[in-house]
Structure 1
Amino acid sequence: MIKSDYLPSGFLQPLQDYLRQRALPAQDLLHELDACLESPNVPSERFCELLDAVWHAAPVSALGIRLGLATHPGQFGVVGYLVSYCGTLGQALARYYRYQRLLQQGLDSRGELKDGVLYMRWTQAVAKTPLATEFSIAVFVSLCQALIGRAITPVRAGLPFARPANADVYQALLGCPVEFDRPAIELAIPEYLLALPISGKDPYLLGLLEKQAQALLNQLPQLDTSAAGASFQRVQDQIVESMKNGDVSAAAVASALNYSLRTFYRELRSAGYSYRGLLAHTRHTLARQYLADPALAQTDVALLLGYSEQSSFIRAFRSWTGMTPGEYRSHLARKAGQVTG
């Protein structure tokens, strides 16, 4: 059991900004925040104490949500910079899960794709006060929004404490229904967001930061990682490779990764993924890239994605985007015309 834990000290910056912007009489607290910000990490228990102290200086509803939404990726330490250089939000979240222990060693999070929705839930071994859990869910929403450069509307959220009298404030701030008394922090977002691009994509810097993150992760005490399962990126890469052979069945991908089909499914479930969801995400991402290339016929795109029939590709693409492939290309042409005009 983890009795002590640490967070990136950058998470204290919104607390300091909040006090200063409101000119609150809290000089001693500001000095404490200054001192903590000089170190790369802050003990989770100390973070909770400082968060509580800010609330006492300005006791407003859902303060943790307000402060968490004011964060940016740079305050996540190496993990924040790493995910900022990924290609899509889905790739960024895969790395978030892989390196989450660099944010909090006692952070345990899971994700599951189901019926077009990514359901996430996590617990924090130490930073589990109501204010800290509020902050945690808002920080995650803020990270996703910053990466794709647009506001997101979650499907629902859940918090592990009793429903407060002013519960409507939480829904207004997060933009979705919020449930209380949940067993963990919970957030559900539409699956299509995973395919959205990240403007700061940089494969070279991503590679460098992954090496740094892995080196830092190796320095942490080892936990049982059997539940981590097959990594999102490794399976996705193999799906792309299998498309060349025209066989993207789970059996073919599992065999190429040296898994039995039963073990493959079990490890994907343990990591919070489904093969159907990963395949759809990969096809959706590639379809948008291929359709943006006028040299590729629509039939060629369907074959490149491993569809034996074009009608199956059209149905799938409409389910992802609400448009047929032809309508999507017309949409791209109109946008290009507006830019050049």
Structure 2
Amino acid sequence: MSKTDYLPSGFIQPLQDYVRECPSPSTALLDEMGLCLAVPSVSAERFCELLDAAWAQAPASALGIRLGLATQPGHFGVVGYMVSYCGTLGQALARYYRYQRLLQQSLVSRAELKDGVLHMRWNQAVAKTPLATEFSLAAFINLCQALIGRAVTPVRAGLPFAKPADASVYPALLGCPVDFDCAAIELAIPEHLLALPISSKDPYLLRLLEQQAQGLLQQLPEGEESRAGSAFQRVQEQILESMKNGDVSAVAVASALGYSLRTFYRELRAAGYSYRGLLAHTRHTLARQYLADPALAQTDVALLLGYSEQSSFIRAFRSWTGMTPGEYRSHLTPGAHGMPGKQR
């Protein structure tokens, strides 16, 4: 089994939760999982080993399915956050397929619409144990359910291993017929689900995260995506750089990019943005990330975002979310790897 493939470490969270709830949980295993969660990614081989270790702690039928159904969009890393800000499930799946190599570099998938049904199939060259394939299938179904806020009843599902003795558990958990000995992980869902809206959609945040995903994809070896950064990406990167200097005015950012202020505004308008809106959304996105870090005081967060006064940050944050930074922090669950609810 190759050691070159990696998965988002957030996928370990359901495993750790499962082990923690066992009658006699292994402290060493929990600590090991905690170390893996402290970094952005984990090798696919290690993930499979941790799945096996979780099963050894408390064997259960279709455990990979059960654990996959406990995932949250945030466990999928930047891809999970990005698809959460799309407008419909169809748009989300289109981006999911485009950036799937950020989830597993060796992931190979195909999708086809036929007779009102979306047929999907994918292979995992590294994370291909029965438990890992179960987890992958169930996590994908649960992602779709989380995005549209309702249960997804597949037409059918398939798994690439021999039919187990307890095969009746699988359709009971997934709500559809499940075939075994398939050539790949398979899933079919009704086409009409693709038009369902995603309540957490946000075009600005989607653009921010898609740029981040594009940058990450370009860093992968042998990647097919290699286009030059757009004007949007240059502005975003300069805003982040200017925050370090404490001056995120349009004049400062335009000057750093080599534009006159008038040309800068004209370029943004042509791309469908306003500087004020872009800056606010960038700050909002970063503020929520920073506030989730208990090591950062509110004054630190304000400075990191380029505010000279904490009061200005508090007023801005209240305008974005309807609550103060302190109130927002009080709503966060310590140690959670999922996304906080979208604040209005």
Question: TM-score normalized by structure 2?
Answer: 0.64
Asked if 1 retains the 8 angstrom alpha-carbon contact of 2:3 and 2:43, the reply is no
Other-structure match for 1:30: 30
Other-structure match for 1:203: 203
Asked if 2 retains the 8 angstrom alpha-carbon contact of 1:83 and 1:96, the reply is yes
Residues of 2 paired with 1:24 and 1:112: CA distance?
Answer: 46
Other-structure match for 1:181: 181
Residues of 2 paired with 1:92 and 1:21: CA distance?
Answer: 33
- The one-letter code sitting in structure 1 at the alignment partner of 2:28 is D
Residues of 1 paired with 2:200 and 2:90: CA distance?
Answer: 14
Other-structure match for 2:105: 105
Residues of 2 paired with 1:3 and 1:171: CA distance?
Answer: 33
Q: CA deviation at 1:110?
A: 1.1
Q: CA deviation at 1:22?
A: 3.0
Residues of 2 paired with 1:116 and 1:167: CA distance?
Answer: 28
> Could you say what secondary structure the match of 1:70 adopts?
coil
Q: How many residues align?
A: 225
Q: CA deviation at 1:113?
A: 0.3
| The structure with more helix, counted as a fraction of residues | 1
Other-structure match for 2:231: none
- Within 5 Å, give how 1:54-69 maps onto structure 2: 54-69=54-69
> Could you say what secondary structure the match of 1:132 adopts?
helix
1:131-173: CA deviation from partner (whole Å, max 9, x where unpaired): 0000000000000000000001000000000000000000100
- Within 5 Å, give how 1:1-341 maps onto structure 2: 4-223=4-223
Asked if 2 retains the 8 angstrom alpha-carbon contact of 1:45 and 1:127, the reply is yes
Cα distance 1:29–1:2, how it changes in 2: closer, same or farther (>3 A)?
Answer: closer
Asked if 2 retains the 8 angstrom alpha-carbon contact of 1:15 and 1:54, the reply is yes
Residues of 2 paired with 1:116 and 1:129: CA distance?
Answer: 31
Flag structure 1 segments of 5+ consecutive residues without an equivalent: 226-341
Asked if 1 retains the 8 angstrom alpha-carbon contact of 2:154 and 2:188, the reply is yes
The 4+ residue runs of structure 1 with deviation greater than 4 A are none
Q: CA deviation at 1:196?
A: 0.1
Asked if 2 retains the 8 angstrom alpha-carbon contact of 1:2 and 1:106, the reply is no
Residues of 2 paired with 1:12 and 1:180: CA distance?
Answer: 25
Question: TM-score normalized by structure 1?
Answer: 0.65
1:38-69: CA deviation from partner (whole Å, max 9, x where unpaired): 11000000000000010011110000000000
> Could you say what secondary structure the match of 2:122 adopts?
strand
Residues of 1 paired with 2:110 and 2:24: CA distance?
Answer: 38
- The one-letter code sitting in structure 1 at the alignment partner of 2:62 is A
Asked if 2 retains the 8 angstrom alpha-carbon contact of 1:19 and 1:26, the reply is yes
Asked if 2 retains the 8 angstrom alpha-carbon contact of 1:108 and 1:122, the reply is yes
- The one-letter code sitting in structure 2 at the alignment partner of 1:157 is A
Other-structure match for 2:232: none
Q: Percent identity?
A: 76
> Could you say what secondary structure the match of 1:167 adopts?
coil
> Could you say what secondary structure the match of 2:212 adopts?
helix
Q: CA deviation at 1:24?
A: 3.1
Asked if 2 retains the 8 angstrom alpha-carbon contact of 1:86 and 1:198, the reply is yes
Q: CA deviation at 1:224?
A: 5.7
1:192-226: CA deviation from partner (whole Å, max 9, x where unpaired): 0000000001000000101000000001012468x
Q: CA deviation at 1:26?
A: 1.2
Q: CA RMSD in A?
A: 1.3
Residues of 2 paired with 1:93 and 1:100: CA distance?
Answer: 10
Q: CA deviation at 1:2?
A: 6.2
Asked if 2 retains the 8 angstrom alpha-carbon contact of 1:89 and 1:195, the reply is yes
Residues of 2 paired with 1:83 and 1:142: CA distance?
Answer: 13
Residues of 1 paired with 2:39 and 2:133: CA distance?
Answer: 23
1:164-197: CA deviation from partner (whole Å, max 9, x where unpaired): 0000000100000000000000000000000000
> Could you say what secondary structure the match of 1:153 adopts?
coil
Flag structure 2 segments of 5+ consecutive residues without an equivalent: 226-344
- The one-letter code sitting in structure 1 at the alignment partner of 2:112 is E
> Could you say what secondary structure the match of 1:171 adopts?
helix
Q: CA deviation at 1:3?
A: 5.1
Q: CA deviation at 1:28?
A: 1.1
Residues of 2 paired with 1:203 and 1:184: CA distance?
Answer: 34
Residues of 2 paired with 1:208 and 1:165: CA distance?
Answer: 47
